Amino acid sequence: PVEDLVREAEHLAAKGVKELILIAQDLTYYGLDLYKKRNLAELLKALAKVEGIEWIRLHYAFPTGFPMDVLEVMKEEPKICNYIDIPLQHISDPILKSMRRGTTKEKTTRLLREFREAVPDMAIRTTLIVGYPGETEADFQILKEWVREMRFERLGCFTYSHEENTHAYSLEDNVPEEVKQQRANEIMELQAQISWELNQEKIGKTFRCIIDRKEGNYFVGRTEFDSPDVDNEVLIDASKYFLRVGDFARIRITEAADFDLYGIPGD
């Protein structure tokens, strides 16, 4: 229930925690069992009132039945990071159908466009699977073209592995291992280029970053568009600047690589 989560957030804030990450198998279903309606927007509003919490981040929102009022809260409430992790898995209709994803290429593309219209500077993270049973070269090309077109801010790609107790286990694992690997490499090469281009646009801009740790000669921070451990990091030269781990700092980006940014403190 919302009250329990708010209480937990208050305890965490009292210990100095500043960032909450809401993680569920599927956040979009939050509230259906307890309140008989999708209640994620109400939960976000309640958590945003907790003093001391400065960032709230959403992980694993299923595309089917996404509660659009969440976008309104994201836009209005500065504590809600303009970030969403929406694991799409694939985009070719025959594969989506076999995966029982309950959506289509057209619906998913429309949903992502609505996200970007509602919150223009949102970072969208997704994960894809290549080499799913029955994935043809044509299915893969549809996926690759779509990745090129959508220009995701963050993307991970995995090769399919045949797991017992899954619906797909009854299907024949018929894509050779080396083809799976090749396909994953192609998607990640394409994404590295997209990420590099998007990162170049950040040079000269200043972002509010949380400083996570000091590593070697760098302080390592993140913008609101980056989740810990999986996304880009912002590196600040520790031999020239001092920052406190756990604090927020305004960092001006001076350089950008495929997946990391370099910056200096200041507006």
Q: What is the pLDDT of residues 95-124, one digit of tens each?
A: 999 998 889 999 999 999 999 999 999 999
Confidence of residue 58 (pLDDT cuts 50, 70, 90): very high
pLDDT band with cut points at 50, 70 and 90 for residue 168: confident
Residues 6+ apart with CB under 8 A from 190: 144, 147, 148
The pLDDT of residue 173 is 86
Q: What is the pLDDT of the chain when averaged over all its residues?
A: 95
Q: Answer for the pair 140, 130: CB distance below 8 angstroms, yes or no.
A: yes
Mean per-residue pLDDT, 197-208 = 97
Return contacts of 91-94, CB within 8 angstroms, 24+ apart.
Answer: 91/142, 91/143, 91/146, 92/135, 92/138, 92/139, 92/140, 92/142, 92/143, 94/134, 94/139
Give pLDDT, residue 216. 96
Residue holding tokens 């090749």? 182
Who's near 203: CB < 8 A, 6+ residues apart? 253, 254, 255, 256
What tokens appear for 42 in the block? 């109400």
pLDDT at 38: 94
| Calpha distance 19→81 (Å, rounded) | 10
Q: Where are the alpha helices (DSSP H) in the chain?
A: 2-14, 40-48, 69-76, 93-98, 105-118, 137-150, 177-200
User: pTM for this one?
Assistant: 0.92
Q: State the average pLDDT over residues 132-142.
A: 96
Domains of the chain: residue spans and CATH: 2-200 (3.80.30.20), 206-265 (2.40.50.140)
β 233-237/218-222 pair status? antiparallel
Record the tokens describing residue 79, joined without a space. 């504590």
In angstroms, what is the C-alpha Rg of the chain?
A: 20
Instruction: Give every CB contact of residue 63 below 8 A, 6+ residues apart in sequence.
Output: 86, 88, 101, 103, 107, 108, 111
**Which range (5-9, 26-30, 144-148, 196-200) has the least confidence?**
26-30
Give the pLDDT score at 169: 74
d(CA 213, CA 216): 10
Amino acid at 234: V
Output the DSSP codes for 134-185.
Answer: T--HHHHHHHHHHHHHH--SEEEEEE----TTSGGGGS---S-HHHHHHHHH
Q: Residue 139's pLDDT is what?
A: 97
Handedness of CA 220, 224, 229, 233 (dihedral sign): negative
